[in-house]
Structure 1
């Protein structure tokens, strides 16, 4: 086959993977992939990632978007109690000298903890299943993303560097928080594992780190300098704590 007369775009490759490509362009894309093995390999990797995400999250992918996550509705909706078991105890078993890190500050009020973890885990479960549109601003525009979220949120939003944990920045978006806007950042490993970092204003100076779980997803919450943080990921607490520790170390150095 020869290359199509009109070059294939990145969006068309994603649409091809998602079965959203117009029928008249499908043959052109397949011809392009036959002539461009690098793009063909990328498409194969995206399909593998999509299959893994759908296998894990199809049970929640079709759930309606929670009203509090609709950016048009910044007014808070009545809260529900957080799902299932909430481990109020700290993750004291985690290795790496984290005792002081885990036990610092005051204990968060139940409502503060519930509000933040509820919103953060809802957002995490809603967006990690997305392959084509997981974020509004891509990680390749890190500086713009940080500036935009800082301006909209009203505090210094920084996308932590998580390469040490094997995670790259996918990008971010703006969401409603408990009392105003919230920033939402997504990270991904080479295997397709995804973590998210949710931050919003919190009526607290400092709080201990606390753990919450919904089904197969876990979250670690803390607050510092009037900003609440939730790092969400899978059910592996040690892996989650490894990521959260790196986020915490970097946000503490920049003053939140």
Structure 2
């Protein structure tokens, strides 16, 4: 009996010559074991794609984002229609992987160890979306103003299920403006809003977590930089414009008080 095992992957990817593909199709119709092997390959392919998609959904570390931003633009080869070829798209992906391994290997190591920043995945991306909207609101920046600080603490603590404190960040030139209640990754999140002398907005967000993360971690999502950490029964993140160089210092001050 012919062993088609080595050809099944190519068959699944549509890479076999027509005659060989028809031969395998005929063999599959008569061989349940070969059918099972093909189904196993399909399942493995789905898992691999889902895992890769999950990596792409992860926020990009600041160091890696900076490496990519500062990398020289490559030349894109085009096919006869002027459209970048599949090979060049694959080359681009491969280059990003190389950058990730060289400039941010710890990021992928962390992923392989199953590290999570929040109680539920995706909360930082949600926070970035909220910040993109609310940071430009000006007059409507907050739901409850800073003058009602006692109410803010009581309201948000009850809402998110973890104690909310309001750090004094005036040593960093930041003025507390008030708060909002958000929903990120399906959970309530407190958002404390601060502004600097140039009216740029810094937000401190908290999400309840039964397994708060250790240490500080820097991330970049879109136009924003973030520094996240965990304490007590919560995870925190400071978010601001990506051109700020003081977010880590602000985060550490907030962590000492929050």
TM-score, normalized by length of structure 1?
0.54
Match of 1:201 in 2: 208
Match of 2:122 in 1: 115
- Report the Cα offset of residue 85 of structure 1: 5.5
Match of 2:140 in 1: 133
Question: Secondary structure in 2 aligned to 1:161?
Answer: coil
Greater CA drift, 110-119 or 213-222: 110-119
Question: Secondary structure in 1 aligned to 2:245?
Answer: helix
Q: Which among 172, 176, 181 is matched to residue 188 of structure 2?
A: 181
Question: Secondary structure in 1 aligned to 2:151?
Answer: helix
Going from structure 1 to structure 2, the CA distance change for 1:203 and 1:163 (only over 3 Å counts) comes to same
Question: Secondary structure in 1 aligned to 2:219?
Answer: strand
TM-score, normalized by length of structure 2?
0.54
C-alpha contact (below 8 Å) 1:112/1:202 kept by paired residues: yes
> How many residue pairs were aligned?
158
- 1:106-141 CA distance string (max 9 Å, x none): 984277685232122122112101112111001111
Match of 1:229 in 2: 236
**Any unmatched runs of 5+ in structure 2?**
1-53, 66-112
C-alpha contact (below 8 Å) 2:190/2:207 kept by paired residues: yes
C-alpha contact (below 8 Å) 1:221/1:229 kept by paired residues: yes
- Report the Cα offset of residue 149 of structure 1: 0.7
Going from structure 1 to structure 2, the CA distance change for 1:141 and 1:107 (only over 3 Å counts) comes to farther
Match of 1:93 in 2: none
Deviating beyond 6 angstroms after TM superposition, the runs of 4 or more aligned structure 1 residues are none
C-alpha distance in structure 2 between counterparts of 1:110 and 1:149, whole Å:
21
Greater per-residue helix proportion: 2
- 1:192-246 CA distance string (max 9 Å, x none): 1210011111241442211111233100111222201010012245311121111
- 1:3-56 CA distance string (max 9 Å, x none): xxxxxxxxxxxxxxxxxxxxxxxxxxxxxxxxxxxxxxxxxxxxxxxxxxxxxx
